[in-house]
Amino acid sequence: MSRFSRFFFRNRRYDDISVSIQEHIAERIDELMEEGMARDEAERTARRDFGNVTLLRERSREVWQWQRLESLLMDLKHVCRRLVRSPGFAITVVLTLAIGIGANTAVFSVLNSVLLRPLPYSEPEQLVAMRLNAPGAPGLTDFRDELRMSPSMYLTFAAHNRSFQSMGVWLPGTASITGIAKPEQVNTAVITDGVLQTLDVPATAGQWLTAADQDPHGAQRVMLGYGYWQRRFGGDPGVVGRTISVDSQSRVIAGVMPRGFKVVGYDFDLLVPVAFDPVKQSLAVFAYHGIGRLRPGVTISQADADVARLLNVWMDSWTNGPGTDSHWYLKWKITPAFLPLKEQVVGSVGNVLWVVMATIGIVMLIACTNVANLLLVRADGRQQELAVRSALGAGRWRVARELLLESVTLGLLGGAVGVGVAYAGLRLLIAIGPENLPRLSEISLDGRSLAFTLMLSVFSGLFFGLIPVLRYAPSRQAVPLIGAMRTASVSRERQRGRNLLVVAQVAMALVLLISAVLMIRTFNVMRNVDPGFSDPPSLQVMRISIPETLVRDPQTVVRIQNSIQDKLAAIPGVTSAGFAVSVPMSGAEPNWDGIYLEGKNYEGEEPPLRLFNYVSPGYFHTAGTRFVAGQDFAWSDIYSLRPVAILSESLARELWGSSSAAIGKRFREFPSMPWHEVVGVVQDVRENGVNQSSPATVYWPSMMANLYGPGPLDARRTAYFALRSSRAGTETFINEMQQAVWSVNSNLPVAAISTMQDIYSESMARTSFTLVMLAVAGTMALALGILGIYGVISYAVSQRTREIGIRMALGANKSELLWMFVRSALVLTGIGTVVGLGAAAGLMRLMRTLLFGISPLDPITFTVVPVALVAAAVLASYLPARRTAAVNPVDALRAE
Amino acid sequence: MAKNPEHRDLFPGALEVMILQSLRLKPMHGYALVKHIKQVSDDLLQVEEGSLYPALQRMLKEGWLESETGTSSKGRPTRIYRLTAAGIRHLESEVVSFERMFAGFTRVLAAAKT
């Protein structure tokens, strides 16, 4: 018989044993009576000869049992029965734990999915982000935290490296798709050969792009992303081989990438091959993200050294044009600083997640402390029972085991309900979480999260169960059997345990409240920062690209843009319109270079790098960016190619001392360019978010004489149009906008439609997310802490009723008695506050990166929060203490 | 275990062998087993009645015995124990090892006399 069937057929066995034993004794009695014994005499003799029937039956049964387990099950049955008998207690504890465990599981799931789980590529530990640093390039760090790779770097590194199995570069972008439905702008990942090989995820239909697709004169193909394939082609596998029009150019669909495949965390609609013509490449245009798959056994530092060596090869092999020094970039001190790809994908969000995890963990601790407090009170009530059991020979371990079993059972019940809470919490987290949270789509409750829940349930059960165990299990000799409780007031020792818990709770709650208030202050400071544009809810933004394949002539491009701007401005309710290559906080790829001032001798020195933007007349007015000096461009300036420019205030002041002094001064980007005259200076704009400093910015006209490529003119083909209107964001308004665009050219897709408010909120999302999480945690901590104080004081009052009665009988003042209890709460809160302040001062340093504009030791926060907490504690103790006043001394003493 | 000081404790395994040997003759119920052992040993060996049942359960679990519903000599329902093939094999190997032990035991006692 297998173990299991044995387990289930056991009851039959037990019956067998009983029947056998019963018959055995009956037969013996019969026999003895036949020998002449009286019935009761015979029965006694038979039983005496047989021995202890119950014990022997038990022994016989035990043969079929797993003894330890069964006695544990027995205890468990006991525990459950006791919990069912006090449903109020059980429900309170289980719900407290469920919320605590659920919140922890939810946050852990996010942490696990985002930070801990490997990237969804094969052998992800071999993947690196090929980041370059350029500490010698002044100003670069104002708008970029790395130097990206140029096409010529890619060509050199890919050909000569010894560290990588494969490597490639890529760039996010957009493209217009026409001819399928309405013209549509889609997100593209422009990739070189090597990107797909490096990520190594097979196509779900068709095949990868190959090196042949990179030939600028060769086959022109694309691959589809899964989402776009489903959305636009209904997941039809027959699309492979079909032709679509990408930026007015016909391309054959080579294949489809599977669901969930992203290029380094970037979700694309189309994979478009780059077509670098090696003949035409120069050293520059540092725009591309590099990724590589290391050969087995090669470390990141070896790869760094390998590529550092190739930088010389790169400078030897390419040039920025005749008459330039190709080793000029030595000044930039370019150094490879490759990173595991996961770090690149996850970025700085780790900070936020760890802070949130720690916060929620502290809430859990506070919840556990509350539960421990409840258990202590409960164990107090059971003290006599436990004492009796000890006296009857129950071992310490046995008593401890039962107490722990109870708390672990509570923990597990809490955990089970907590999984439900976590599931709901996770949906909420994803909903309110920053939209740009990396790997958002990968977040799920997986095995590891559930294992975490289980561990947390068991450990929290052990943790809050151990406190009553330490208090009651060892006190076998000390526990009075009966009576002592009634006559004495509560012992100091027992009160001390609960006091300690309250101090811990207050300290933890204080830490959380301080962090929450610091975040609120940060958020406030950020909201009060002038972002460099006004009234974002009424500022409508959208992006329009005019590909070269659609309109060749740059002048026509500008004329189209000009008429779009005019048409948009003519929509009812629109007060003004304009466009710029990049709008603040939109994450558009920045353009940058150094500028040379007229009349200044650089003597081989390099000017710092400045952010470049290109704007139309009217853009600043529309965005609400103030002119500090001078004036805006005019359309006539644009069309006549008048060499003019507008500077940001900080740049004007840096170069010429003041904004007004800058007007009329001239500068240029490089020698072949005419000197551009500063006609206006505008206020600083927080291009990268309100918590980042405003970069020094040069605003060029949207069309200039071309100095890079073929043709006399250079226009900006992708631009964000901005409209000022109280109707911004409404559906009808967006429709009218699109109609206005299409009335100029029906092949132009309108993309990235949003209000400036959306962009602004998005850039604050991480802060507001952290704020919400900390505020929720802080509120929970405060509520739990107050509850803890309330509970302890009201328990103390109920335990000391007799003492109060005596004191009152002896003439004690009611208000003095009241003060006695409030004072004890104040002492506890005071100690907790001091401990908490110390802990907060240490811990807030860890939050420094999340704060903005205030010190981690902000004096206001560090004063207001403790005062508020102490006030809350006074209230929480006053309410139960007031009951002492109602105590009638006669009743109190009669209760004896 | 024996309450009567004239009776020695049985050594480990002895009770089982006696039960197996007894049941080899014919299937019996518990009380009959006790009586049978008492009779055959001429009252020299007395099984403590109660300890029979845990032993029977152990042997059932090992698969040496089977139990079936039956009636006692008084016609009341009880359980009849029967030896299985595995029980016979176990008995035989136990008997061999007991005999060897007794032989050794006897020789040591004999040698001590001379």
Q: For B69, name the nearest residue in chain A, comparing CA atoms only.
A: A16
A16 with B50: Cβ contact below 8 A:
no
Is the predicted pLDDT of residue A39 greater than 70, yes or no?
Answer: yes
B21 to chain A, closest Cα gap in Å: 20
Please tell me which of the candidates B49, B54, B67 has its beta carbon nearest to residue A63. Answer: B54
Is the predicted pLDDT of residue B28 greater than 50, yes or no?
Answer: yes
User: Which pLDDT value is given to residue A565?
Assistant: 95
Is the predicted pLDDT of residue A321 greater than 80, yes or no?
Answer: no
Is the predicted pLDDT of residue A561 greater than 90, yes or no?
Answer: yes
Residue A517 to residue A843: CA distance in whole angstroms: 14
User: Which pLDDT value is given to residue A431?
Assistant: 77
Please tell me which of the candidates B31, B50, B78 has its beta carbon nearest to residue A51. Answer: B50
User: Which pLDDT value is given to residue B114?
Assistant: 59
| pLDDT-above-90 percentage for chain B | 5
Write down the mean pLDDT value for chain A. Answer: 85
The CA R_g of chain A, rounded to the nearest whole Å, is: 38
Residue A798 to residue A821: CA distance in whole angstroms: 12
A60 with B61: Cβ contact below 8 A:
no
| pLDDT-above-70 percentage for chain A | 94
Is the predicted pLDDT of residue A18 greater than 90, yes or no?
Answer: no
Please tell me which of the candidates A49, A53, A60 has its beta carbon nearest to residue B54. Answer: A60
Please tell me which of the candidates A17, A27, A28 has its beta carbon nearest to residue B53. Answer: A17
**Domain limits for position B64:** 14-113
User: Which pLDDT value is given to residue A538?
Assistant: 94
Residues of A with CB under 8 A from a CB of B: 6, 13, 16-17, 19-21, 23-24, 26-28, 30, 49-53, 56-57, 59-64
Q: What is the dihedral of CA A865, A845, A436, A614, to 10 degrees?
A: 110
- Chain B residues within 8 A of A63 when measuring between CB atoms: 54, 57-58, 60-61
Please tell me which of the candidates B34, B51, B74 has its beta carbon nearest to residue A30. Answer: B74
B57 with A60: Cβ contact below 8 A:
yes
Q: A872-887: per-residue pLDDT in tens? A: 888 888 888 887 767 7
CB A663 within 8 A of CB A518: no
Tell me the average pLDDT across A630-651: 93
User: Which pLDDT value is given to residue A483?
Assistant: 46
A671 versus A642: the higher-pLDDT residue is: A642
Q: Classify residue B23: in a domain, yes or no.
A: yes
CB A122 within 8 A of CB A436: no
User: Which pLDDT value is given to residue A6?
Assistant: 57
A260 to chain B, closest Cα gap in Å: 56
Q: Classify residue B3: in a domain, yes or no.
A: no
A23 with B57: Cβ contact below 8 A:
no
- Chain B residues within 8 A of A23 when measuring between CB atoms: 29-31, 72, 76-78
Pairing, β A697-701 against β A609-615: parallel
Residue A399 to residue A422: CA distance in whole angstroms: 34
Tell me the average pLDDT across B53-59: 86
B51 with A24: Cβ contact below 8 A:
no
Contacts of A726 (CB under 8 A, 6+ apart): A538, A573
Is the predicted pLDDT of residue A278 greater than 50, yes or no?
Answer: yes
- Chain B residues within 8 A of A45 when measuring between CB atoms: none
User: Which pLDDT value is given to residue A8?
Assistant: 61
Q: Number of residue pairs across A and B with CB atoms under 8 Å?
A: 72
Question: Residue A861's closest CA among A844, A842, A875?
Answer: A844
- Chain A residues within 8 A of B78 when measuring between CB atoms: 19-20, 23-24
Q: A663-697: per-residue pLDDT in tens? A: 999 999 877 788 999 999 999 999 888 888 888 99
Q: What is the DSSP letter of A437?
A: -
B57 to chain A, closest Cα gap in Å: 6
Q: Classify residue B34: in a domain, yes or no.
A: yes
Q: A112-152: per-residue pLDDT in tens? A: 888 888 888 888 889 999 989 888 877 777 667 788 898 89
Please tell me which of the candidates A16, A23, A61 has its beta carbon nearest to residue B76. Answer: A23
Q: For A28, name the nearest residue in chain B, comparing CA atoms only.
A: B31
Is the predicted pLDDT of residue A860 greater than 80, yes or no?
Answer: yes
A541 versus A714: the higher-pLDDT residue is: A541
- Where does the pLDDT of residue A326 fall: very low under 50, low under 70, confident under 90, or very high at 90 and above? confident
Please tell me which of the candidates A16, A24, A26 has its beta carbon nearest to residue B49. Answer: A24
Q: What is the CA angle A678-A684-A690, rounded to 5?
A: 155
- Where does the pLDDT of residue A476 fall: very low under 50, low under 70, confident under 90, or very high at 90 and above? very low
B83 to chain A, closest Cα gap in Å: 17
Mean pLDDT is highest, among A180-184, A396-400, A419-423, for: A419-423
Residue B29, chain A, CB below 8 Å: the answer is yes
User: Which pLDDT value is given to residue A2?
Assistant: 52
Q: A702-729: per-residue pLDDT in tens? A: 888 876 655 677 888 889 999 999 999 8
B53 with A63: Cβ contact below 8 A:
no
Residue A455 to residue A451: CA distance in whole angstroms: 6
A402 to chain B, closest Cα gap in Å: 29
- CATH, residue B74: 1.10.10.10
Tell whether ipTM is more than 0.90. Answer: no
Q: How many distinct structural domains can be found in chain B?
A: 1
Contacts of A322 (CB under 8 A, 6+ apart): none
Residue B76, chain A, CB below 8 Å: the answer is yes
Residue A543 to residue A545: CA distance in whole angstroms: 7
- Chain B residues within 8 A of A6 when measuring between CB atoms: 61
Tell me the average pLDDT across A209-231: 85
Is the predicted pLDDT of residue A622 greater than 90, yes or no?
Answer: yes
A56 to chain B, closest Cα gap in Å: 6
User: Which pLDDT value is given to residue A419?
Assistant: 92
B75 to chain A, closest Cα gap in Å: 10
User: Which pLDDT value is given to residue A472?
Assistant: 67
Interface test with B, best of A20, A35, A53 (most B CBs within 10 A): A20
B95 to chain A, closest Cα gap in Å: 24
Residue B58, chain A, CB below 8 Å: the answer is yes
SS (H, E, C) A703-759: EEECCCCCCCEEECCEEEEEEEECCCCCHHHHHHHHHHHHHHCCCCCEEEEEEHHHH
B54 with A50: Cβ contact below 8 A:
no
Tell me the average pLDDT across A626-645: 93
What's chain B's length in residues? 114
Interface test with B, best of A21, A24, A58 (most B CBs within 10 A): A24
- Where does the pLDDT of residue A824 fall: very low under 50, low under 70, confident under 90, or very high at 90 and above? confident
A522 versus A486: the higher-pLDDT residue is: A522
A688 versus B43: the higher-pLDDT residue is: A688
- Chain A residues within 8 A of B72 when measuring between CB atoms: 23, 26-27
